[in-house]
A and B are shown apart, each in its own frame.
Chain A
Amino acid sequence: GAGVSQTPSNKVTEKGKYVELRCDPISGHTALYWYRQSLGQGPEFLIYFQGTGAADDSGLPNDRFFAVRPEGSVSTLKIQRTERGDSAVYLCASSLTAGRGQETQYFGPGTRLLVL
């Protein structure tokens, strides 16, 4: 498939555990974004990458959240010491570039995280 893919599709963990969520962007897209969507809300921006570097991580809620994109393609969102409030759908999106905010972002199906 040519779209954005995310794994796993569902993740159940216990409070205090560490989780990793993976995103495979569309081939050739240099910009990659992570969002979090809580029930009944719109997606909330977390972080975006241009290439390998995090160009803006202002949306990360605290230092338990971290994301990497070491080779400029696949990205991993890492959450340490998970809390029940972290339960949400984590969405990944990619765009061809990140120029001037006009680029269309293509979204993956999301990872539904449940922290018990």
Chain B
Amino acid sequence: GNSVTQMEGPVTLSEEAFLTINCTYTATGYPSLFWYVQYPGEGLQLLLKATKADDKGSNKGFEATYRKETTSFHLEKGSVQVSDSAVYFCALSALGGGADGLTFGKGTHLIIQP
């Protein structure tokens, strides 16, 4: 079956630090990969996505590259801000088979201190 593994949190960083949140996946076929973010008191929202190998998704200074050879989709940001404090979820959507439901990781709670 499909699965997503992401690093356990919480991750605590100082403002302007470099961020990496690791995500690896197991899937049949060629999934699309997503990062969703949940800010305090808000619903899940898409941060970025990549639909094929070597694609790079980017948004709000965050980036992630779809690496088929390592089955990874690590999230990075060069300089984090306090406003980036949130829970981040890596997810995949398997193509084919009729199911478009997303498979999520457990989430990584990111805390940015001023």
| Chain A contacts to B: CB under 8 angstroms | 31, 33, 35, 40-48, 55-56, 58-59, 91, 93, 95, 98, 100-110
Q: From residue A9, how far is it (CB to closest CB) to chain B in Å? A: 11
Q: Which candidate, B11-19, B71-79, B94-102, is the interface stretch facing chain A?
A: B94-102
A59 to B102, CA, bound (A): 11
Contact A41 B101 (CB under 8 A): no
Residues from chain B with Cβ under 8 Å of A93 in the complex: 44
Contact A45 B101 (CB under 8 A): yes
Closest 3 CB pairs of A and B: A42-B104, A45-B101, A101-B93
A40-B106, A42-B91 known; A101-B100 Cβ under 8 A: yes
New A-B pairs, 19, CB < 8 Å, besides A33-B101, A105-B102? A35-B102, A41-B106, A42-B4, A42-B91, A42-B107, A43-B102, A45-B99, A45-B102, A47-B101, A48-B101, A55-B98, A55-B99, A98-B100, A101-B31, A102-B32, A102-B51, A104-B49, A109-B42, A110-B43
